[in-house]
Amino acid sequence: MRIAILGATSEIAKDLILSFAAHSEHELTLYARRPAAVRQWLNSIGIFDKYAVEDFTAFSEDSRHDAVVNFVGVGNPLQAAAMGAAIFDVTLQYDQMALDYLRKHRDCRYLFLSSGAAYGSCFDEPVSEATPTNFTINHLKPQDWYGVAKLHAECRHRALAHLPIIDMRVFNYFSHTQDMSARFLVTDILRALLSNETFVTSNVNIVRDYMGAEDLYQMTSRILTAPAMNCAIDCYTKAPVGKMVMLAELSQRYGLKFLITTEQTGLNATGIKTNYYSRNYSATQVGYSPTSTSLEVLLREFDVLTGARLT
């Protein structure tokens, strides 16, 4: 299969590229705003000559691809906050690029990396297939813009029901390859652990579902080879993990020091999400079956990052 990767500098895109390189013979073309950075990265991991690397200007109707996977966007909450309302323009620009290609090549699959944030701002309970999106339209806040941009893209895609488009909603993802300076809960914990500092967090027991590289590759591969359809699919693991269980396990395993406070902590760039995970298991229709729990993903990646060994 000939696959175009849009946004190849994305950290999650890089993990998928590594998985493709290790487990498939697909012919990838990696498109990026900074192609030199992609070539440098490929060289650093020893596969410099394996895939073609192009600037976005090379992506045209004359290109020959069986699938397009769009990773263009922001990779962490701090970037989302810094980008602000510009995220609407960036999302639209590269989504439209892919859609224009599909209109000329209707057999081409399109996989768009969406987000659980498309459901809106209410995560008092995990979402399900029946959950409506929820944005306070008369009082939109900057924290809503990321989710609204993803929702708008999904609406465009559903309106093109005759085209094979799947929106893959990622809720949480973690890998030892990602930027550890990013302001996620798990990276904040890791920095405290590595610097031997006490991690301070609120007493709200938020729940997260951390997909890892193996299940990301599995879901992507299933989507690209399944019968053509136009829909959205939520990402999920075998089981989510609560913050308190996570902290207790990391404390026992790695010696993490933590302090629970009644004050709000962390960065709120895309809204407060108490139960940010999905019970919408429609991915089974493409043959997806998760291999790991969230806690297993975290411990596996923390072992790499801390130099620890599984016992």
Average pLDDT score over residue span 84-106: 93
Average pLDDT score over residue span 297-304: 96
Q: Coil, helix or strand for 258?
A: strand
Q: Tell me, what's the pLDDT at 264?
A: 67
Q: Torsion angle, CA of 58/38/112/132, rounded to 10 degrees?
A: -140
Give me the phi and psi of 141, to 5 degrees please: -115, 160
Bridge partners of 172? 210
Phi, psi of 228 (to 5 degrees): -60, 135
CA distance 80 to 22: 31
Give the pLDDT confidence of 4-52 residue by residue, as tens digits.
Answer: 999 999 999 999 999 999 999 999 999 999 999 999 999 999 998 999 9
CA atoms within 13 A on the CB side of 119: 29
pLDDT digits (tens, 9 = 90+) for 261-286: 987 665 554 557 899 999 999 999 99
CA dihedral 206, 212, 216, 218 (to 10 degrees): -120
**What is the pTM for the complete model shown?**
0.92
pLDDT in tens, 110-131: 999 999 999 998 899 999 999 9
DSSP one-letter string for 138-161: GG--GGGHHHHHHHHHHHHHHTTT
pLDDT at 309: 42
Q: Does domain 2-177+210-237+278-291 have CATH number 3.40.50.720?
A: yes
Domain positions in the chain are 2-177+210-237+278-291
> Average pLDDT, stretch 51-55?
97
Q: How far apart are CA 260 and CA 263, in angstroms?
A: 9
User: How confident is the model at residue 78, as a pLDDT?
Assistant: 61
Q: Give the pLDDT confidence score for residue 196 in this predicted structure.
A: 95
Residue 89 has pLDDT above 80, yes or no: yes
Neighbours of 176 (CB within 10 A): 16
